[in-house]
Amino acid sequence: MRLSFNSFPDRLISTLGGLANRQMRYRVQAATGQRISAPEDDPAAMCRVLDLQGEGTRVGQYQRNIGRLQEIASATHGVIRGLARISDRAGEIAIRANGGRSQQELDIMAKEVTQMIQQAVSTGNTTNRGDSLLGGTQTGRPAYAIQMGTEGQVLGVLFQGNADAPSNEIAEGSTVVAHSVGANSSGSGAPGLLSDSRSGVDFFKHLIDLQNRLSAGDTTGIAATLRPALQADGDNLLRHVSQNATLQSRLEVARVAAAERLGGLDQQISNESDADLAQTLVRLNETQLSYQAALQSSGKILSMSLLDYLR
């Protein structure tokens, strides 16, 4: 098959254009360190990179969720420990309130219990980033409201939250609840920290009862009913301390796993998209030599005339 001389310039332009594009691509790879800058560079590899980046986005969100949950769990731990100290002191007062105490002594104890209730309400209303820690999903208002009498005694403590603890995903198919619910009267779900209908725990009710019985001098009732009730409240708080510690341990394991997964994804993306600098420079040099050779040979061919063939 013979090609007309007129087709040579078209083929030359096409060849030089292809070589110029290859030079540009290798220059960009050498400058950026990236082998793939557009889908057409390597469609299959680009697809794999996009899949890996999508997974990295999900794992990154899990990592942020874990960080937030760790923050909440740590703050909740402080709340539980504070309430446990109040519980311990209430138990001590209940033991000290025996029949040998004068009413004046019992009144002093009652006033201390009143202050303890107020402190417990303040602790129970602790927030983190403006969200109530013990209010369930009712995070926009204090978990507890206190009712005071005209003589300075506590009449009641009202729970203003709910038993629906918010949860967050820390891995595919794995969700965690970091909040402790202040009260749960539903008979199901997460156990209440200060009040739970299943176990009979009701910390504020028992503290108010202790306050009132001290004021009334009812040491017999304190010994018979309140000591065991306050002991059960304290045991419940200790269980929550243990559960919180277990949760924080789990979150730390999840944090490390997410960080390692992100590192692995970054390496996989690098393997797919990063350019081998030495190899890229060799190819760039080869392409430049080919381009120069094409220019020189085409120049000679285009400068030839019929007389060159007749010599």
pLDDT tens sequence for the chain (311 residues): 454 545 546 565 655 555 555 555 555 554 555 556 666 666 777 788 788 889 899 999 999 999 999 999 999 999 999 999 999 999 999 999 987 889 999 999 999 999 999 999 999 999 999 999 999 998 889 999 999 999 999 999 999 999 998 889 999 989 999 989 999 998 888 899 999 999 999 999 999 999 999 999 999 999 999 999 999 999 999 999 999 999 999 999 999 999 999 889 888 776 666 554 455 544 545 555 555 555 555 555 555 554 554 55
Distances (CA, A) of 200 to 203, 220, 255: 10, 21, 36
pTM: 0.76
In the chain, what are the domains? Answer: 53-266 (1.20.1330.10)
- The pLDDT assigned to 124 comes to 97
CA pair distance 26, 22, nearest whole angstrom: 6
pLDDT at 53: 83
* Orientation of helix 103-124 relative to helix 43-96, angle to 10°: 170
Range list of H helices, 217-276:
219-221, 227-273
Q: Helix, strand, or coil here: 6?
A: coil
User: So what's the pLDDT on residue 279?
Assistant: 54
Which sign, positive or negative, has the C-alpha torsion 199, 201, 202, 206? Answer: positive
**DSSP one-letter code for 224:** I
What is residue 44's DSSP assignment? Answer: H
Q: What is the pLDDT of residue 277?
A: 45
